[in-house]
Amino acid sequence: MAAVTGVTGYVGGRLVPELLRAGFAVRGIARNPGRLRDRPWRGDIEVAEADLTDATATRAALEGVDVVYYLVHSLSADDTFAARDRRVALTFAQAAREAGVKRIVYLGGMHPDAEPGELSLHLESRREIGDILLASGVPTAALQAAVILGSGSASFEMMRYITERLPAMVAPKWVDTRIQPIAVRDVLHYLVGAADIPSDVSRTFDIGGPEVLTYRQMMHRYAKVAGLPRRTIVPVPVLTPRLSSHWVGLVTPVPTSIAKPLVGSLIHEVVAHESDIKTYVPDPPEGLVGFDRAVTLALAKIEGDAVETRWSDAWRVDPGQGQASDPDWAGGSELEDVRTLDVDATPAEVFDVLQAIGGESGWYSWPLAWRVRGIMDRLVGGPGLRRGRRSPKKLALDDVVDVWRVEDVVPGTMLRLRAEMRLPGYAWLEFRLEPHGDGTRITQHAEFRPRGLAGQLYWYSLVPFHPLVFSQMIAGIGEAAEAAKRAAAESGRAVEDVAGSV
């Protein structure tokens, strides 16, 4: 039995089907198992509910497990994530030992040899977690990777958007740091193989791809593979990691709070010191994936709407963060805006429009207001609108849609989104569809639960704009559904005409 923690995250969500293909029985460990409902492999695995900060629940989730994958990491702009990850790792290590787990496999970050305090906080934390697990008493394989190349990974998306959006750039000096990137499919290959490493082996292993490149070289190579003109990159010494993380946050979908630890680690040369993993896990028969091939594969998945997981799957925002000190009496009950509209389209046709909302399709109302709100959210550390979507046409439970996350979805009937923008409260946007005559009645329900007096003021300050935003939104959705119905009907008639003429 193989157990996977971080199963709702980027690597965990891709590892599960690889383990199943390799013949493992798999148990996914999740704090909220409901988030796995729409995963295509959900019916093929066991699911255990456990918060890894809870020693009792974690120990129970690990009972009967032979190998467990530890894929739990935090990323934030402040310094609290390291202490949080340390507490979780210590609890997990004890639970794994007491449950009789035979092996732990951990995916951490490749780093240079350095004294404590010399590494970035991000890499220092990854090294510390590996040390905790290696000291657990359970044989541990701590795999250490540098930049992971794959559709939807935070590192890949950061490089992709910087390169695509900036034909010429003044860049930080870390663009000339040497890095040994690795394709996500090779990471998964090593992770699966590490389950069978002999029990007397407990150590770290560096895993890297076949090439060592600078970030500048990677951007040039990406541009060439993507068919873009060669980029002009001028490195300057004045852009500190802190400044450049804000720059990355403005240019890419990766918010500053994630960009800061990632950028802070790019100042270190991350090249494999050894390749001992090959002694126990031979390379894939076709060999390791080179940089150009990894980019080609990633872009093909993006263009083919086949991205299985994204960095944003695991990165969640508490929109009420920073408001915990407000007195209870300063809050209030839910505030709402409810609108209905009857449209000449079937529920399935309307739902197709809803599934494509956000991203490139927009929000069917006052685009300038949405852009301004997204910029404001980015400036205060929120995700803004640049996270986009995993798929342009389909939505599943827990998918990200710009500043929203899919909290519930029933095909043809309902879509409920929860806001992850920075707010003095909690917000939802729900659409319900029901047959009405020959068409559909759409009920659009915007709900806000204020937190503190600031929440009340926030809602009522926006009330004058609700007719512009919410009435245009439901009207735009209805018009798009009716237009799609007309287009389908015209296409059908055209096919009949051609068939008749033949």
Q: Band the pLDDT of 321: cuts 50, 70, 90.
A: very low
At 417, list the tokens: 């989104």
Q: What's the Cα-to-Cα distance from 486 to each of 331, 349, 441, 465, rounded to whole Å?
A: 47, 11, 18, 31
Least confident among 18-27, 200-209, 324-333, 355-364:
324-333
Q: How confident is the model at residue 26 (pLDDT cuts 50, 70, 90)?
A: very high
The Cα 261–Cα 253 span in angstroms is 15
For residues 331 and 250, the model is more confident at 250
pLDDT for residue 64: 96
Longest dimension (CA), the chain: 80
- The tokens of 256 are what? 């500053």
Q: Of residues 164 and 322, which shows the higher confidence score?
A: 164
Q: Residue 327 pLDDT more than 60?
A: no
Dist. CA 142–CA 71, nearest whole Å:
11
Q: Look up tokens 């750039």; give the residue.
A: 169
Instruction: Report the range of poorest mean pLDDT among 284-298, 324-338, 437-451, 467-481.
Output: 324-338
- The pLDDT score that the predictor gives to residue 246 is 67
> Cα–Cα distance between 25 and 44 in angstroms, integer?
9
Q: What is the pTM of this model?
A: 0.78
What are the tokens at 146? 């540098």
Where residue 443 falls among pLDDT bands split at 50, 70, 90?
very high
- Is pLDDT larger for residue 462 or for residue 342? 342
- What confidence score (pLDDT) does residue 259 get? 72
Backbone angles phi, psi at 233, to 5 degrees: -125, 115
Mean pLDDT of the chain: 87
The arithmetic mean of pLDDT across residues 490-500, rounded, is: 64
pLDDT in tens, 280-309: 999 999 999 999 999 999 999 988 888 888
Q: Provide the terminal-to-terminal Cα distance of the chain, rounded to the nearest Å.
A: 60
* Tally of CB atoms within 10 A around 475: 17
Which of 50-54, 188-192, 283-287, 301-305 shows the highest mean pLDDT? 188-192
Task: Look at residue 320 and tell me whether its pLDDT is greater than 90.
Answer: no
Instruction: Burial-class residue 128 by CB neighbours within 10 Å (0-12, 13-18, 19+).
Output: middle
Is 50 exceeded by the pLDDT of residue 332?
Answer: no
Q: Are 313 and 9 in contact (CB under 8 A)?
A: yes
In the numeric block, which tokens belong to residue 483? 């237009």
Angle at Cα 186 formed by Cα 184 and Cα 192, nearest 5°?
Answer: 105
Sequence-distant (6+) residues with CB within 8 A of 361 are 392
What is the pLDDT, as a whole number, of residue 331? 43
What percent of the chain has a predicted confidence (pLDDT) above 90?
55
Going from the C-alpha of 2 to that of each of 13, 68, 474, the distances in angstroms are: 14, 6, 46
Give tens-digit pLDDT for 107-164. 999 988 877 777 888 888 899 999 999 999 999 999 999 999 999 888 898 899 889 9
Phi-psi label, residue 49: left if phi above 0, alpha if psi -120 to 50, beta otherwise = beta
The predicted pLDDT at position 178 comes to 93
Which domains are present in the chain?
Answer: 2-313 (3.40.50.720), 328-489 (3.30.530.20)
Residues in CB range of 460: below 8 A, 6 or more apart? none
Provide the pLDDT confidence category of residue 315 given band limits of 50, 70 and 90. Answer: low
Confidence bin at 351 (pLDDT 50/70/90): very high
Q: Give the percent of the chain with pLDDT over 70.
A: 90
Q: What is the torsional sign of CA 203, 144, 5, 279?
A: negative
For the ranges 10-14, 89-93, 239-243, 271-275, the lowest mean pLDDT is seen at 239-243
